[in-house]
Every structure is written in structure tokens, then in C-alpha cells.
Amino acid sequence: MMAATFAAVFIALYIAHSVGDHWVQSSCQAAAKGLPGWPGRLACGRHVLGLTATKAAALLPVALTLGLSLSALGLALGLGLDATTHYWADRRTTLARLAEICGKAEFYSLGTPAHPAHPVTAEGTPAATLGTGAYALDQSWHILWLGIAALIITTL
């Protein structure tokens, strides 16, 4: 039963993460959350607050419909840890530094003009891409912590 509960919680968090990170987050929050100082901190905080509310809103009907027994402590600790780690990564300089420490700085810059092999147009100017290494590392970081949060929510 615990494995099924973990699976249901993780799936709900994963769906809510995708919706909250891409649909609920405003363009202003996305543009400003990596800025230095209070403007960036506040934008990132507003994004994480909306994201966490989205995750809680997704978990509630799943828990009620499937009859999952989730504790308030598990929910608070799991969602709190997820929110904290999401905020940390979304401040951008933190995740970029981690990528550098792990030897992933070149991958982090993939898809941007900073990458040594960035895509170019026929005119030789930087070409837009649909994804970047920074985005891939950001999302994999978040998914790691979604799994940990689901374990906490399921087992406490």
C-alpha cells in the first residue's frame, strides 16, 4: 500500500510541478526571479508560493479520491522541503554554481550564445532554441526533490 501511495503522491506532485512551473508562474516572476537583491528574492518567493499552492491543490483531490492517509506533518515537511529547494535553484546563480562545481558548466550553457558550439542562423547570429542545458538541469533538480518530497509525505 505504501508503494502505491508514494506513486500517487509523486505523480500528483509531478503534474502539479509542470503546471505550476510553466502555467501558474507569471512572465514577470520568470524574468525577475534570478535578479540580485530583493526584487529577485520577492519574485522567486511569489513563484514558489504559487507553485506550492498548486501542488497542495493537486494533492488534495488525489488523497481524497484514492483514500490516501497523509499526515499534516508529512505534507508540511515534504512541501516545505520541495519549496525550499525549488527557491534555491530558481535564484539561478546557485544552480549555475552547482553545475560548475559538478563539471557541468558547459552543459549548463548549452543552447545559449555563451556555449562554445551555440546554434547560429544562416547569417551567423545566435539562433533561438527550444531548450537549454540550464533548463534541463533545473528540471532534473526539481524532479529529484519531488521524489524526496513524495517519500517524506508518504512515510511521515
Give the pLDDT mean for 17-33. Answer: 96
Confidence tier at 111 by pLDDT (50, 70, 90):
confident
How do the domains of the chain map onto residue ranges? 2-155
Q: What is the CA radius of gyration of the chain?
A: 18
- Return the half-sphere exposure (C-beta side, CA atoms, 13 A cut-off) of residue 31: 3
Residue 110 has pLDDT above 90, yes or no: no
Cα separation, 119 vs 105, in Å, equals: 17
The more confident residue out of 5 and 112 is 5
**Hey, what's the cell of 155?**
512515510
**pTM surpassing 0.85?**
yes
Cα dihedral 93, 95, 100, 106 in deg (nearest 10): -100
